[in-house]
Structures are given as structure tokens and as C-alpha cells.
Structure 1
Amino acid sequence: MATDQFTHLHLHTQYSLLDGAIRVKDLFPKVKDLGMNTVAVTDHGNMFGAIDLYTEAKAHDVKLIFGCETYVAATDRHDRTNRRNYHLILLAQNEVGYKNLSFLNSKGYLEGFYYNPRIDKQILKDHSDGLIGTSACLGGEIAQTLEKNGVAAAEEMAKEYASLFAPGDFYLELMPTRTNEQETLNGELVRMGRKLGIPLVATNDCHYVNRVDAAAHEVLMAIQ
């Protein structure tokens, strides 16, 4: 696949606090160097970098897709007895989607903050217009359900997430991470997608720009 046909849709910058090691000033030159003209940024639980990212993207003639890796409460966003949450990628398709993404981020802090800024499925369903959802990483609810409760339960969870979005706007997310857990998940998601008619998307869960930056990322992770 030519690089101009690929867009990173799961990426963490310095605004993914103590997790993302991609500096905004380094991101867009790298995108251009790779022959890409579009990139999504999906920082953890926030859109703090929106203005900074937009300004830099425009300066480098790169189309920025606003996104966020949200935290979905295991129960209700108002529940302060259960800190369990699951990762979910949200991407804005248009202005309506951007406004809904901003709204959900705000509600995560104002109403759902408990260790992390959390939303829940009901508020997501009510404000999913213009948004694309993807199943995220091993921390996503579909992946966690597969690990803990098996294939049938994971399929039901995938159908539930798909129902929160407009038809065709929820994707099962495949990653080339070479771990046994991720490879097993990838295989199950491919099978699940074919069975349930849910489309697939390939991402890379980027946390740093160059291979040599891996050590710096490890330091950030150690500070957490």
C-alpha cells in the first residue's frame, strides 16, 4: 500500500500525559516525510492540544483529524464506586462530529471524572452523530470481554458498540503489535468482523515518532 493511501488513526502526542512521546512540532514534518497528507490525533481522555495541533497541521499543509481515546465507564459515568473503564477511539468526521467530541470530552471531566474522565454508552449514543468509533487496543471493552468471557460475549459486545453509531461508523481495530495477546485478538476480530458485518481498520497505536524514541517513551511509562 502506498503511503499516501494510509492514514494513522490512533496516535498519541505529548498531550497524552505521561504516555505519548510525540512532540507536536515533530509530528507533522514526519507525516510529510512519509508522504502522507492526513493524520488523526487521539490523545488519552482530552483534546488539550486541539489549537496547537490545528495550527501546526495547517502550517505543514496536513489535514488533521480530531480524535480522542476516550474512557468508557464500566457502569455509569456518575458511578464513583467502580473505577473500571475501557478505551474507545472516537474520530470527528465533520463539524457536527467535532462538536459532539468536544461535548463528550467536557462531560467526561464535569460529570464522569473518577481517576479518569469517563463517558458512558448512553451519552455516547445520544451524541454520536458525525463520529466514527473504533474498538481501540487491548484495553477496549470488546478485547477485555473476549479475554474474560469468551467469543460469544465479545460478539454481543461488538454488536452493542456498533449500535451506538450510525451504520458503518464503528470499526474493529487491528494492530500489528507483535505480542501473543494482540495477534490472538487480531485473528478473532477478523473472524468477528466477517460474521457480524462490522468493518475492520488497521492502526498502529503510535506513541513516538522514531524507533530511537522508544527509550524516552519507556521513561514516561515508568513515571506513571
Structure 2
Amino acid sequence: MSFVHLHTHSSYSLLDGLSNVRSLAARASELNMPALALTDHGAMYGVVEFFHACNEVNINPILGMETYMAARNMSDREAQHDSKSSHLLLLAENQTGYQNLLKIATASQLQGFYHKPRIDHDFLSSHAEGIICTTGCLSGEIPRALLSGNTKRAHE
């Protein structure tokens, strides 16, 4: 049975990732992983280098990002409501998904930036084709709801 990391940060995830994309691909190859995802925080700066590094060591690259979800609307900028964001992991399933991820990354920087590059549920819904979405990490909406005992909110 093969194992594939679907939630991987590189040095392009500022203050979170340490490894460069070439060393990530090389290590995945050493461990005989068939594929590896790159899901840096709020950006896709490393995907081209990652794509080439994976191809050089015969690893299938999975391109993605861990996006920040605005608490309300991505254009809202009120400190009391909008300084907190949740995380969501997005993976490109195909070329359309990759193009949508690029649109999401761009909009999060240019339209949604407030402390961090953010999007909202409406924007994600309108750019969801070809994207696989997971809860990401403990900073996701579903894990936060479950950890606080709010199973109703988690199901919503």
C-alpha cells in the first residue's frame, strides 16, 4: 500500500514551512511515494519549481494550496470580526482545477487580503470545478466546530 502526503508546506509557506521543494520531492522519491502534494499557505509560488522537481525524480506532483477562509466576506475588514480566518485545503484534480486555484490565489491576494490572503465560500463555490477540497488541519471550520463540541455546526 502506498502513502502520499496531501498536506505539505514548503519554504514558500512563510513562518510555517522549512523545506525547499526540491528536497521534498527527493525525500518522497527516497520513500517510494508515488506522488506528493504541495499545499503552501495562501499562495502557489512554488508550484512550477515543485512540478519540475517531482518530474525529475518520477513523483507525480499534486498541485494545491491551503487557503484562508474569511470569517464573513472576503472584502470585509473589521478587526472585531475579520481578523480570524479558518483554513481549507484545495487540490487541483485536473487542468481546470489548476486554473481555478490560480484564480483563487490571485483573488485572495488582490481582493481578500486582510492580515492574510483570504477568500470566502461564495468565491470558492464559483471556482470549485476541478478542485478537491478537504478540511485541511485543526484550523479548519469543521475541526474547530468538532473540537468545541458543536457537531451541528460541523455538519452544516
Aligned equivalent of 1:76? 73
Q: Which region of structure 1 is more displaced relative to structure 2, 104-113 or 25-34?
A: 25-34
TM-score (norm 2): 0.94
Aligned equivalent of 1:7? 4
TM-score (norm 1): 0.66
- Report 1:193-212 matches (<5 A): none
- Confirm whether residue 141 of structure 1 aligns to residue 138 of structure 2: no
CA distance in 1, matches of 2:118, 2:149: 23
CA distance in 2, matches of 1:92, 1:152: 29
Aligned equivalent of 1:154? 154
Q: Which amino acid aligns with 1:90?
A: L
Partner-residue secondary structure (3-state), 1:26: helix
Q: Structure 1 vs Structure 2: percent identity of aligned residues? A: 41
CA distance in 1, matches of 2:26, 2:72: 41
How far did 1:149 drift?
A: 5.7
CA distance in 2, matches of 1:53, 1:35: 17
Higher helix share: 1
Query: Which structure would you say has the larger Rg?
Result: 1
How many matched pairs?
A: 153
CA distance in 1, matches of 2:112, 2:26: 36
Aligned equivalent of 1:125? 125
CA distance in 2, matches of 1:6, 1:25: 19
Gaps of 5+ in 1: 157-224
Gaps of 5+ in 2: none
CA distance in 2, matches of 1:36, 1:149: 36
Partner-residue secondary structure (3-state), 2:44: coil
CA RMSD of aligned residues (A): 1.1
Corresponding residue to 1:28 among 25, 28, 31: 25
How far did 1:148 drift?
A: 3.5
Aligned equivalent of 1:200? none
Moved over 4 A (4+): none
CA distance in 2, matches of 1:50, 1:153: 34
Over 3 Å counting, the alpha-carbon distance change for 1:111 and 1:149 in structure 2 is farther
